[in-house]
Structure 1
Amino acid sequence: MGILSNLFGKKKNDDEQVRVGGMEDFMTLIRVYYQAVIAMNLGITNLAFLPDLRIFKQTLHVPTVNNKLGIGEKNKCKKMLMDMYDMSDTFFKEIDASIKKNCRNQNDIKNYLIMFQGFSQDLMMLIGNLMQWKFRMPSMFHKALRNMTAKTINQILTRNDWKDDAVRRTCVNIRKYAATLGYSEAWMTEYVFRIVMLAKKEPKTASND
């Protein structure tokens, strides 16, 4: 798990230092935040049900607040995401509202997390398909790239005249996911843009000629 190595700068091997704050850490912290909110809302005490939260809590020695799992972990994780990745407070409020709406008891947890995973995968796959060359823009043009990301998200949510039927079907799926999960266009833009920017900073793998 990235958070164990990246947050503490542990080495992958004798020569390579793992970079702190990469995409793997971001996605791990996102999962931790979801699990912390779920634990807090539903009063879960068994960390075995929430593996990312368990490792986060044990590794960073996050104290339990008011004898309730999730409160301290949520606050710690939120602060890290805001400090390391500049995520907005609104971003977290929408996650909180989504979990409150969709996770009313422990039986809802698995389906909810699977739904979010499907939403995230479809969204990023389609973004990669639609933006393509735009990803090659230098990171210094981050404002332009964010505007392009916002425009593409808007098209995914509103445009119906796609020539590619697979794109059209994926757009429909994403709209259904977003409606059920309760995520706004602005939330999707912030989430996708951060992943795009982090992906651009990932080390390039050597191509086989």
Structure 2
Amino acid sequence: MGIIAKLLGKAPQEETARVGGMEDFMTLIRVYYQAVMAMQMGISNLAVLPDLRIFKQTLHVPTVNNKLGIGERKRCRTMLMDVYGMEDNFFKEIDASIKRNCRNVNDIKNYLLMFQGFSQDLMMLMGNLMQWKFRMPSMFHKALRGMTAKTIHQIMTKNDWRDDNVRRTCVNIRQYQMRLGYSEAWMTEYVHRIVLLAKKEPKPKDVDEKK
């Protein structure tokens, strides 16, 4: 079983279709967030960071300099860069966002809930606004990235939306963005990567045929 599939506890027969998939990506993103929190706030209790605990124990990541988070952050960052091609600035913005918003353990839950709301609203609205563009073949990923960047810029700047629900969601996303501090470039990278991974996910019909 591969490293990422093992981390997620997937059965061997699922590995080929799922290693490096969207679920793996989101799990590693959560691990990275929790590793940075542990490192920046000096957290030593793994019970408050469940994804980090599983990652550390499953991959046997050693604790560096008796401080939780340093080795785990490096290992997770390397995996995200090697498997998904994430760039250095992507991680720098996460580090800065956590430093800005999390000063003690009590801030962790609120921050993660805020990021979850931000991510859900952003992906839902992007799917609503782009629709057919998200169905473009993966070979046109550069064009799709450009369209993604343009749509995100509209979300952050355009005010004359005809649909009230779209306008309200844009306001919510902008409020999240102000708190979290992520740039449009970061949002583009995040959405674009998830969309490309979603395209590679096996369709229900394909899974049934394999069974």
TM-score range, shorter chain: over 0.9
2:175 equivalent to 1:176: yes
1:205 alignment partner AA: P
CA distances 1:36-83 after superposition (whole Å, capped 9, x unpaired): 000011111111111100000011110000000000000000000011
Report the AA paired with residue 57 of structure 1.
K
Is the contact made by 1:9 and 1:18 (CA closer than 8 Å) also made in structure 2? no
On the 8 A contact 1:10/1:18 being kept in 2, the answer is: no
**Partner SS for 1:68:** coil
Q: State the match for 1:56 in structure 2.
A: 55
Once residues 16 and 78 of structure 1 are traced to their aligned partners in structure 2, the CA distance between those partners, rounded to angstroms, is: 21
| Shift in CA distance, 192/34, structure 1 to aligned 2, threshold 3 Å | same
Match of 2:105 in 1: 106
Report the counterpart of residue 5 of structure 1 in structure 2.
Answer: 5
Give the TM-score normalised by structure 1. Answer: 0.93
Partner of 2:42: 43
- Letter matched to residue 41 of structure 1: Q
Which structure: greater helix fraction? Answer: 2
Match of 1:142 in 2: 141
Q: 1:4 Cα deviation (Å)?
A: 5.8
CA contact (8 A) 1:5 1:18 kept: no
Supply the distance in 2 between the matched residues of 1:5 and 1:16 (Cα, whole angstroms): 6
Q: CA deviation at 1:135?
A: 1.3
> In structure 2, what is the equivalent of residue 95 of structure 1?
94
Query: Compared with structure 1, are the counterparts of its residues 70 and 16 closer, same or farther at alpha carbon in structure 2 (3 Å cutoff)?
Result: closer
Are residues 46 and 60 of structure 1, via their aligned partners in 2, closer, same or farther at CA, if it must alter by over 3 Å? same
CA positional deviation for 1:205: 2.0
Alignment CA distance shift 1:107-1:16 (3 Å): closer
Higher relative contact order (CA 8 A, sep 6+): 2
- Report the AA paired with residue 29 of structure 2: I
Could you say what secondary structure the match of 1:116 adopts? helix
Amino acid at match of 2:21: G
Distance 1:119 1:8 in 2: 24
* Partner of residue 194, structure 1: 193
Q: Aligned to 1:52, what secondary structure does the other structure show?
A: helix
Moved runs in structure 1, 4+ residues, more than 2 A? 3-13, 15-19
User: Partner letter of residue 65 of structure 2?
Assistant: N
Structure 2 SS opposite 1:66: coil
Sequence identity percentage: 79
CA offsets 1:105-140 (integer angstroms, 9 cap, x no match): 111111011000000000000011011101111100
User: Deviations 1:165-190 (Å, cap 9, x if unpaired)?
Assistant: 00000000000100100000000000
Task: Count residues in correspondence.
Answer: 205
2:28 aligned with 1:26 = no
Q: Secondary structure at the match of 1:37?
A: helix
Structure 2 CA distance for aligned equivalents of residues 186 and 93 of structure 1: 12
Distance verdict in 2 for CA 1:164–1:35, change over 3 Å: same
Any gaps of 5 or more consecutive residues in structure 1? none
TM-aligned CA deviation for residue 7 of structure 1: 5.7
